Chain A
């Protein structure tokens, strides 16, 4: 079993749709959590950190459920520019960052 698992998708949604991605992690000692976005042939870029109480940044909402060991990302009112691969990242004590394989989103007109 992988340490961090994501549904690879692809998710194909129309503009304006709401889409949600989930990510599960296997190590209960995981300390911090992030969502990254990666565009084709580019480096991953931080989208948002994920806090225990949940957090929102504009159209993006991240949630953490430590009991069930999953995090989620909700995108409201999807834009064409949201098309990318979304990577779930889990950090451990001692510094190791483990990435999921990513979920591919395509937003269509």
Chain B
């Protein structure tokens, strides 16, 4: 089992640039989650999908953030335009169903916006 795969592992960009983070969930998992982790705010849920449909995006900070899941094996989180305060580790996680199964996390993308 390849696990949840995220890319890139590290991203350094300048303020104002567009950033796209990618995630491939574990095959057969039908729920996908995007989290952001910082020292100040801990692990925050940004958005989650069930069967490719966004269920709760209340954690998305603002309109600069958008997420898509065009099919069961791929999701993107886009930040446009990026700002220094977006610097964080972004984790993608997947699970087999939406409430009774644990999450399996990818290695994360460490984003630095200068």
Contact = CB atoms under 8 A, between A and B. Distances in A.
Given A95-B50, A97-B33, A44 B105 contact: yes
B102 A49 contact: yes
Interface in B76-114: 91, 97-100, 102-108
A81 B87 CA distance: 29
Contacts of B48: 95-96
A35 to B, nearest CB: 10
Interface residues of B, number: 22
Contact of B43 (A32, A87, A93): A87
B97 to A, nearest CB: 8
A95 B106 contact: no
B109 to A, nearest CB: 11
B19 interface: no
Interface string B45-57: 1001010000110
B106 A43 contact: yes
B33 A94 contact: no
Interface stretch (A9-17, A66-74, A98-106): A98-106
A94 B98 contact: yes
Contacts of A42: 107
Given A43-B91, A87-B43, A96 B100 contact: no
A32 to B, nearest CB: 5
B31 interface: yes
A93 B56 CA distance: 12
Contacts of A102: 42-43
Contact of A43 (B56, B99, B105): B105
A31 interface: yes
Nearest to A97: B103
Interface of B: 31, 33, 35, 42-43, 45, 48, 50, 55-56, 91, 97-100, 102-108
The 7 closest A-B pairs by CB, nearest first: A95-B98, A43-B105, A101-B42, A99-B43, A46-B102, A91-B99, A32-B100
Given A94-B99, A99-B35, 5 more contacts: A91-B99, A95-B55, A95-B56, A99-B42, A99-B43
